[in-house]
Amino acid sequence: MKLILGKMKQLSCFFGLAALMLLQGCNGGTEKKEDLSVQVIAFEDLESEITKSSNKLKVVNFWATWCKPCIEEMPYFDAVIKQESESATLYFVSLDFVEDLERVTKFVEKKKPYGKVMLLDNINYDSFMPKVDSSWTGAIPATLFVDSSGNQYFYEKSFSQDELSTLILSLL
């Protein structure tokens, strides 16, 4: 009888521990944990990341927390890139002022975007916009797609999910 009670206590401890781990979000290392940090980055570092050779499509979306169309399209980028995560990488580059890092961080913690979130450390539009694309007027949302051959495709517009999906599939 003591042996049975001892085993029952062990099992109840095991199940209690397992339930606690589930409640705390422990996944045993089998699932990638989201990185909800915001990296403050110089444009030169972003430019280096954009031009670095890769076998994946790079999707660089320029946005801001105060831009309603930007925020509306973010879930579309998340959904499409999650489906194509083996062949595409998503970067959300905030054009908020660096002084608003806390605001951007709170936004990211609330919305939990799938892509890597960056905040440019110096918003001197005239210095970096032509380096992204000579046609960029400065309007956002704006998105740069860089395919695995290094070809760049720039769009100064907001996307529907269908438009975005069709475009990304055509660039893969």
**Span 85-142, pLDDT tens digits:** 899 999 999 999 999 999 999 999 999 998 899 999 987 888 899 999 999 999 999 9
Is residue 145 a contact partner of residue 59, using CB atoms and an 8 Å limit?
yes
Cβ neighbours around 81 below 10 Å, total: 21
Q: In sequence order, which residues have a C-beta less than 8 Å from that of residue 58 and are 6 or more positions away?
A: 49, 50, 88, 89, 91, 144, 145, 146
Write down the pLDDT at residue 85: 87
pTM score: 0.78
Q: What is the band of 20 on the pLDDT scale with cuts at 50, 70, 90?
A: very low
Strand partners, 62: 93, 142
- Return the amino acid letter for 149: S
Element (H, E) at 45: helix 43-51
Tell me how far apart the alpha carbons of residues 120 and 43 are, in angstroms, rounded to a whole number: 6
**Span 50-86, pLDDT tens digits:** 999 999 999 999 999 999 999 999 999 999 999 998 9
